[in-house]
Structure 1
Amino acid sequence: MRVGLLRTVGAATAVYGAAVAAWPDLLARPSGLVDEDGRPAPDTGVALRPLGWRDAASGVALATAPEGAALRTAALVRIAADWGDSLLLGLTLPERDKRLKAVAVSVGWGALTAYGLLTGPAGKGGRGDRG
């Protein structure tokens, strides 16, 4: 396990999630969830704020969980959230180019977390450490 990488991904996710919870436009605009004037509907913000909060909470967990089972669980939650986002946003965002970008970003963050979880030096929580 690459603990430093997982902590960095967690911290970045927590900051971004908190920002989206506070300013849902940060996610609405690049996702194409805006009207003709480029503004998201009030309901869009209501729907995106919990998503931001989820990312903030899971990011804090990944950044601060003790090494071992707790950190592995936090990483798996983060991977499930990212890859779930890629599936759902990829199927539902209204514009094809926005869907592709959302899928790429979500799969990328999930893959980075999976890499951090599954790799690392033997005996230090990596694949060679089965204990």
Structure 2
Amino acid sequence: MNVGLLRAVGAATAVYGVAVAALPGLLARPSGLVNDERRTERATRTALRPLAWRDAASGLAMVLAPEGPALRTAVYLRIAADFGDAVLLGVTLPHRDRRVKAVVVSVGWGALSVAGLLAGGPSAERPGRGPFSRPCPAATER
């Protein structure tokens, strides 16, 4: 696990989440969720803010979680959110080009988190200790 990469992804996600919560147009405009005057309607702003807080909270969890199972859990949550966004936005956003861009961005962020889990790097876990593995009793009895 590359903790530095995961913390960077978490920090970027948290900052973006706070920014979108404050200014929902940052997400609404590129997603095509604006009216003819390119303004974000009140209902759209209301709907986007919880999504933004989810991103802020999950990103902050990636930054603050202790290395190990807690950090992996925060990263799994982030990956599920990103890939879920790709699926949902990919089928529901208006205009095909907006859907494609949303899928690319969402999958890209999710892939960064997957890469951080799979990569070695600063604070990499010991070899053979994946997220679901248990230590071998024979190895610990020496």
The TM-score range, normalised by the shorter chain, is over 0.9
Does structure 1 conserve the Cα–Cα contact (< 8 Å) formed by 2:30 and 2:98? yes
TM-score of the two chains, using structure 2 as the length reference:
0.87
Amino acid at match of 1:2: N
Q: CA deviation at 1:124?
A: 2.5
Amino acid at match of 2:128: D
Deviations 1:4-52 (A, max 9, x none): 0000000000000000111100000000001111111110000000000
Give percent identity, aligned residues only: 66
Question: Aligned pair count?
Answer: 129
Q: CA deviation at 1:98?
A: 0.5
- Aligned partner of 2:138 in structure 1 is none
SS in 2 for 1:40: coil
Q: In 1, distance between residues paired with 2:14 and 2:128?
A: 28
- Aligned partner of 2:44 in structure 1 is 44
Q: Summarize the alignment of residues 1-131 of structure 1 with structure 2, pairs less than 5 Å apart.
A: 1-120=1-120, 124-125=124-125, 128-130=127-129, 131=135
- Give the gaps of 5 or more residues in structure 1: none
Q: In 2, distance between residues paired with 1:35 and 1:9?
A: 31
TM-score of the two chains, using structure 1 as the length reference:
0.95
Amino acid at match of 1:98: R
Q: In 2, distance between residues paired with 1:14 and 1:31?
A: 19
Q: What is the root-mean-square deviation of aligned Cα atoms in Å? A: 1.3
Q: CA deviation at 1:129?
A: 3.5
SS in 1 for 2:94: coil
- Give the gaps of 5 or more residues in structure 2: 130-134, 136-142
Poorly superposed stretches of 4+, deviation over 4 Å: none
Amino acid at match of 2:114: A
Q: CA deviation at 1:118?
A: 1.4
Rg larger in structure:
2
Q: CA deviation at 1:71?
A: 0.4
Amino acid at match of 1:52: A
